[in-house]
Amino acid sequence: MDVAINYTIENIAAITNGKIILPRNPLDRQNAETQPAHLLLDSRKLLFPQSTIFFALNSPHRRGTEYIKSLYEKEVQNFIIDDKKLDVSLYPNATFILVENVLHALHLLAIHHRTAFTKPVIGITGSNGKTIIKEWLYQLLEADFNIVRSPKSYNSQIGVPLSVLQINEQHLLAIFEAGISQADEMEKLEKIIKPTIGIVTNIGEAHSEGFKDKRQKVKEKLRLFKRSSSLIFCSDDKALNKEINILKEENLQLQLFTWSRSNPASLQIVSIEKANDLSIIKGNYSGKVIQLMIPFTDDASLENAITCWCVLLHIKIPDHVIAERMLQLQPVEMRLELKRGINNCSVINDSYSADINSLKIALDFLHQQKQHHKQTVILSDILQSGKAEDELYSELASLLKQKQIERLIAIGPRINLQQEQFSFLKEKHFFLTVEEFKSNYYSLHFKDETILLKGARVFEFEQIDKLLEQKVHQTVLSINLSSIAHNLKQYQSLLQPGVKIMAVVKAFSYGSGSYEIASLLQFNNVDYLAVAYADEGIELRKAGITLPVMVMNPEENTFNVLSQYNLEPEIFSFDILSSLDKYLNSSGLQYFPVHIKIDTGMHRLGFEYSDINMLTSHLKNNTKIKVQSVFSHLSASDNESRDQFTRKQAAIFLECCEKLQTVLNYNFLRHIANTSAIRRFPDMQFDMVRLGIGLYGIDSSIEIQKKLKNVSTLTTTIAQVKDVKAGESIGYGCETVLEKGTTIATVRIGYADGYPRPLSNGIGKMLIQNKLAAVVGSVCMDMTMLDVTGIKCMAGDKVVVFGEQLSIQQMADWCNTIPYEIMTGISQRVKRTYFDE
């Protein structure tokens, strides 16, 4: 993020204890003293070259000074460095400030900037909810204060100083969040934020790796408030309570404002009632019962809302005002949302707030999108910036010009008065209201462009979002999460004591969805997950899945991300093992977790029996690798006629395991049983089993199938119903000619959605009004025609493609394939919905 600051080069050098080297010519030096500087950390986000100061921060992989050459060529002339060996003579027109450490210099500048601000500063820390509480406080208090706050989740050693440097003399309240990942970090952030009012959110397991235990984590977080005058927190957490009491002995001025569901507190929660999409919260405060409603029912939102309630009570906001504003709380969009729009457009929805700093972030994201040459910004008035209107919109215009935006659509009375500022734009449109925009919508011709929506909440840009969003496909795959949990329990009941479960969630969880299913399995205490490729595992990690994950088809170029995201590769050949060895040698990693695949007869992937002696030699005394498991794949465990072959596979597998065990001085997990083998070969369960298709309600055993519940239901809708005369043809190729008059329903599903073409010409059937309707003619790309003669139906009626009454197994039988292929073939354009009974 680019941050505008009013410090000269000389100011910054003095504040950061730096030394100016290679000064420019005196005239330029004089100009530098009067012009404001834009502080830049990311060389890719350059906006104002002539007035930018680049802080050359080092990363674990690259030195910040590596970017100086390219920035200098783009006319950046001011740099802060800590590399004494840099040859500054290569940049004769530049000014350098040499400091001991660039990050520390950034902190010193932010500390200096903070000392000039005498208004209240709210500091927020905790494991969860920091950003939500910050944004909700902004929503609740923006009518009373000109507020400066952390952009997005800027709460790190770099994000916090950037946040604080936004403060200007117009601001009346500051709200900053602070996040840490290891001991001694909060001490630095406290000096920068120096909060007067403190908030501690939920203290959970997130980011616990850098701490010995919860006590150390809590104690470290509380360092943020060692000079605060008040602290707001939930007193139901005993460990937190204990450490806060210790803090209070050290900070005698600290006043506590607590809330609790069960203990005496400043705000004692009396009751919480949930109805539809609302929650009614009653509390006892200062001897009287007060209540409010919020438009959320989940527990996390309730905790965050109560914390915000405490803040408003603490700063004496009237009860009736609190109640009115809490009912209007809006969900917080944690990320910029990119989605498909109409007419081959891409839509970036960031329409919940409009301020200059979040606009910079959104424009950076827009600038990264290369799918369309044309880029459009739809922008509302920017409210309560603390700047004069001319200055504000001049800065905004400069941003749009720097990012080479082609079209601006501006909405609001204030920005309308500043039209002259945007004269440089190729295309511009100004509307007073969203309603006026909607009236002119079709004349704006949105096509083949990337559109950024950026509006203050009061403008309700969600109306524009709905106009621009690609209409949702009416073909839907519904996944019953309760049924998956039920099916898991059925297989768990078949396991020997101590046997673990590895759930296979590759191929988008057999077409059902990735992290949604993985989250359910994690909740239900599955031991391991398995995915096909690294990308699938990364998505699970980003979605908060913490279970061990085996990657079944690792590639050499993914080793770095496997390590980064704590994913465990399957090793199936000497080539992949050698490549991993080279990576581990270069990175210095030890005991990297792997899974050894043995080919016992399927002949797809794996070490052959003849390879085992060489493999044991490689693994012996190898401290770079830690074998988590050894496994193999049964070829025909569902086929009784191949049982002898299956038992031969198991025997080869056990012999290989014994040889590997002799050279490893630790135990590893053994697994060979898949879904079918769990029941058919209980003696092959060993240490762990791999459960795949059975989770989704499909098993080759009739006995087990009866106990499983249907998980997935694929539905679509009728687009049109028509009566067609005898002798007319249906569909492509005129292959189907009607022998008699027939009622035809065209439904919104085709082979592009995953409905197979082999189901054409009467082979496939669908359910309409609980009656089977046969496919007529060829399955088209997006549509399929059905014979609905005698079935009462109309356009818009629901059609079941497969589900409880019409099984996916039946559909697979009709097109002579297996349920796996049907499930994994369902297109990603088919919307997934999840429900829990």
Could you give the residue numbers annotated as active site? Answer: 506, 732
Q: Is the dihedral of CA 461, 464, 469, 472 positive or negative?
A: positive
Both structure tokens of 641: 């006629």
Question: How far apart are the two ends of the chain, measured CA to CA in Å?
Answer: 44
Supply the DSSP symbol for 182. Answer: B
Hey, how many other C-beta atoms are within 10 angstroms of the C-beta on 12? 24
Both structure tokens of 208: 């616990």
Supply the DSSP symbol for 469. Answer: B
Both structure tokens of 154: 């800027």
Q: What long-range pairs does 764-770 form, CB within 8 A, spacing at least 24?
A: 764/811, 764/814, 764/815, 765/806, 765/814, 766/799, 766/800, 766/801, 766/806, 767/799, 767/800, 767/803, 767/805, 767/806, 768/718, 768/793, 768/797, 768/798, 768/799, 768/800, 769/793, 769/797, 770/805
Q: Tokens 């009736």 belong to which residue?
A: 320
Can you list the alpha helix ranges (DSSP code H) found in 116-179? 130-141, 159-164
Residue type at 267 in one-letter notation? L
Residue 81, phi-psi category: left (phi > 0), alpha (psi -120 to 50), beta (remainder) = beta
Q: Is the dihedral of CA 625, 629, 630, 633 positive or negative?
A: negative
Supply the DSSP symbol for 162. Answer: H
Hey, how many other C-beta atoms are within 10 angstroms of the C-beta on 817? 14
Sheet holding 52-55, edge to edge: 3-5, 37-40, 52-55, 78-81, 95-98, 19-21
- State the Cα–Cα distance between residues 692 and 679, nearest whole angstrom: 14
Residue 786, phi-psi category: left (phi > 0), alpha (psi -120 to 50), beta (remainder) = beta
Sheet holding 625-632, edge to edge: 669-671, 625-632, 592-598, 568-571, 549-551, 528-531, 500-504, 688-691
Give the pairing of strands 37-40 and 449-454.
unpaired
- State the Cα–Cα distance between residues 239 and 205, nearest whole angstrom: 14
Supply the DSSP symbol for 210. Answer: B
Phi, psi of 325 (to 5 degrees): -75, -35
Contacting residues for 523 by C-beta, under 8 A, at least 6 apart:
none
Hey, how many other C-beta atoms are within 10 angstroms of the C-beta on 694? 24
Both structure tokens of 525: 């205490």
Q: Determine whether 371 is exposed, middle or buried from the number of CB atoms within 10 Å of its CB (0-12, 13-18, 19+).
A: exposed
* Helix (H/G/I), strand (E/B), else coil: 454: strand
- Whether residue 640 contacts residue 647, with contact meaning beta carbons closer than 8 Å, is answered with no
- State the Cα–Cα distance between residues 368 and 725, nearest whole angstrom: 55
Both structure tokens of 589: 């990693």
Strand partners of residue 634: none
Phi, psi of 148 (to 5 degrees): -110, 140
CA 98 to chain CA centroid, nearest Å: 38
Rounded to 10°, the helix 299-314/319-326 angle is: 150
